[in-house]
């Protein structure tokens, strides 16, 4: 990893693209996990028991909508006299999972930080590119008087 002045704008554009992908790409699996971890069950009302005043709903196998936004939509459960109840919201599971992953990544990055801070400034800079073998051969063939000098132009003096 180094910063090179000659790469400038192209390097920053690449970093910006990677940053945008880092924000955009995790959204799709997060939304998928929210839907996958959400559970909705059909609760059928139970008759009052003679010995107790408790009414415990019976969990039925009748189908409920899979999306929490459609929980009040007509379904097999509501047609059978039951109500669809959101028993687990996937949003909270994804939030807690993200918190744990973020905490673990933070611990890993905190271990790397002292090592990176101890590097000298020269470790963050690029070395000038080494000449290719053909450039080195051409430089060796050129005479020392030709290296680094400008071509002389004839200058006419005004008389």
Range of the domain at 70: 32-118
**What is the domain count for the chain?**
1
Q: How confident is the model at residue 99 (pLDDT cuts 50, 70, 90)?
A: very high
Which one, of 77, 45, 71, 76, lies nearest residue 58 by Cα?
45
Q: Residue 125 falls within a domain, yes or no? A: no
pLDDT of residue 101: 94
> Is the pLDDT assigned to residue 152 strictly greater than 70?
no
Residue 134 belongs to some domain of the structure: no
Q: Which pLDDT score, from 0 to 100, does residue 5 have? A: 61
Task: Indicate the pTM of the whole model.
Answer: 0.55
CA dihedral of residues 48, 53, 54, 60 (deg, nearest 10): 0
User: Could you report the per-residue pLDDT of 104-151, keeping only the tens digit for each?
Assistant: 999 999 999 999 899 898 887 776 667 777 777 776 676 555 555 555
Structural domain contains residue 52: yes
Residue 158 in domain: no
In terms of Cα–Cα distance, which of 95, 63, 97, 98 is closest to 79?
Answer: 63
As a whole number of angstroms, the distance between CA 34 and CA 26 comes to 12
Is the confidence at residue 40, as pLDDT, over 80? yes
146 part of a folded domain? no
Query: How distant, in Å, are the alpha carbons of 93, 97, 98, 103 from that of 31?
Result: 12, 13, 12, 21
Inside any domain, residue 70: yes
């Amino acid at each position: 990893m180094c910063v090179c002045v000659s790469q400038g704008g192209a390097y920053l554009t690449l970093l910006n693209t990677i940053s945008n992908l880092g924000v955009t790409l995790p959204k799709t699996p997060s939304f998928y996990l929210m839907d996958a971890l959400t559970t909705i069950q059909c609760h059928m009302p139970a008759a009052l028991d003679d010995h107790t005043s408790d009414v415990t709903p019976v969990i039925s196998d009748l189908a409920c909508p899979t999306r929490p936004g459609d929980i009040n939509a007509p379904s097999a459960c509501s047609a059978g006299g039951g109500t669809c109840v959101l028993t687990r919201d996937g949003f909270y599971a994804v939030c807690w999972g993200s918190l744990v992953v973020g905490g673990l990544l933070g611990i890993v990055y905190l271990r790397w930080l002292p090592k990176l801070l101890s590097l000298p400034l020269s470790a963050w800079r690029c070395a000038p590119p080494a000449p290719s073998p053909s450039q080195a051969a051409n430089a060796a063939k050129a005479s020392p008087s030709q290296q680094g000098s400008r071509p002389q132009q004839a200058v006419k003096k005004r008389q």
